[in-house]
Structure 1
Amino acid sequence: MGYPGKNHKSYQTPKRPWEKTRIEEETRLVIEYGLRNKREVWKAQSHLRKYRKAARELLALMSNAADQAVFDAKKTELISHMQRVGLLGPDADVDDVLALKVPAHLERRLQTLVYRKGLARSPKQARQLVTHGHIAIAGRRVTIPGYLVHRGEENDIAYYGKSPFVDASHAERTRITKPAGAAGSGVN
């Protein structure tokens, strides 16, 4: 066991580092979501890998008829957790956990939701606004672009109270328009 104060790696690097299709897909995700580097894609993959592992363990438990009550309890716990986080919909099952892809995880990041809500012009600007402390969730400043926003917190994303962006006449804010794909953008 290591020193408890030491940070540990929260991702795994690819086993085949020069695979062309993987590199192109990761590059596309980095550009589309305005990520800092591919390490953030690998973190998302590792996060989803943990959920998939739990789902596979559940399916292994299901084969044993004596543990049906344990299976139902663990299944309910996993599915409800993932619904609270926002990775799954209301009528999801264990198969939906196994079918999750990296973009589903990247869509739940604060940086992406700031852009989707129309608080920034681009994903890169959304990252900058979060990092510089202009974004708050329920009035509390959050400066981590990779913060996973729960479903209940999604509607509470706004500019921080002391930020100059609160003023609607701010020069940069007048240039910001909601993206075409954003829900409720009002653009027809």
Structure 2
Amino acid sequence: MGDPKKNRKKHDRPLHPWRKERIDAEKSLVKQYGLKNKREVWQMAAVLRSIRDQAKNLIAARGVQAERERGLLLSRLARLGLVSASAKLDDVLGLTLNNILDRRLQTVVVRKGLAKTMNQSRQFIVHTHIVVKDKTITRPSYLVPNTEEPLIVFSQASKLASVDHPVRAPPAGKSSAKVEVVKEEPKVKSA
């Protein structure tokens, strides 16, 4: 049986705490993607760093096991929608933090039109209004595979499942209902 696994941080803090360029870049990412704090940026940066480190090691490695691991890494990244199916390991080194942040559940919900803003999307996810493939996921940082992207919908138990709910965004591709104003021509009195 054994003891429970030790919980560890899933991110590394910046080496230098007060670099203006880094602070401004992180601030814009937090605002653009509706993140709670900069720790979420650091966590996604750690995910990207581990993928890139693995790719660098596999580029240098030789042998049957290295080939097998290359295929597994590329298939995993293709499944997540980070690279194309015919990508090479050099393409993995070209990934950016924005590529990772675009695959988060929070971002995909906004892109699908289920929420109007990133913050609203985050609230829908945390409050269990969103389900992915009949599973309730309450983690906005969940990286959505390509196969699960069309299966993101509102939960049937949620009040937001109703199309008439006032909080719901209008369906993607359709503009909100516009009120038509009909101008009446002034009546001319005949004398």
**TM-score, normalization by structure 2:** 0.85
- Please identify which structure carries the higher helix content: 1
Q: How far is the alpha carbon of 1:77 from its aligned partner?
A: 1.2
Higher relative contact order at CA 8 Å, sep ≥6: structure 1 or structure 2?
1
> SS of 2:61's equivalent?
helix
**Residue 186 of structure 1: CA displacement?**
5.7
Question: 1:156-184 CA distances to partner (integer Å, 9 max, x unpaired)?
Answer: 000001100111111112xx146xxxxx7
Instruction: Kindly indicate whether the alpha-carbon contact (under 8 Å) linking 1:140 and 1:160 is maintained by their aligned counterparts in 2.
Output: no
Structure 2 segments unaligned to the other structure (5+ residues): 176-191
The answer on 1:42 being equivalent to 2:42 is yes
Question: Please, which runs of 5 or more residues in structure 1 have no aligned partner?
Answer: 179-183
Within the alignment, does 1:100 sit opposite 2:88 as a pair? no
| Root-mean-square deviation (Å) | 1.6
1:5-154 superposed matches below 5 A? 5-62=5-62, 67=63, 69-154=64-149
Quote the offset at 1:24 in angstroms: 0.6
CA contact (8 A) 1:139 1:161 kept: no
CA deviation map 1:24-81 (0-9, x unaligned): 111111000000001011001101111111111111114xxxx2x3332221111011
Deviations 1:115-141 (A, max 9, x none): 110000100000000000100011221
Quick check: 1:160 aligned with 2:155? yes
Indicate how the Cα distance of structure 1 residues 72 and 6 shifts in structure 2: closer, same or farther if over 3 A, else same. Answer: closer
> How far apart are residue 5 of structure 1 and its match?
4.2
- CA displacement 1:70-108 (0-9 Å, x = unmatched): 332221111011111221112211111111111111111
Secondary structure, aligned partner of 1:8: coil
In 1, the alpha carbon distance for the partners of 2:65 and 2:139 equals 37
Distance 2:74 2:174 in 1: 33
Deviation for aligned residue 1:15: 0.5
Larger Cα-atom Rg: 2
Aligned residues: 173
Tell me if structure 2 keeps the 8 A contact 1:45–1:102.
Answer: yes
1:4 CA drift (Å): 3.6
> Aligned residue for 2:187?
none
> What is the distance in 2 between the residues matched to 1:74 and 1:114?
32
**Could you state the TM-score of these two structures normalised by the residue count of structure 1?**
0.86
- Rounded to whole Å, the distance in 2 between the matches of 1:56 and 1:93 is 12
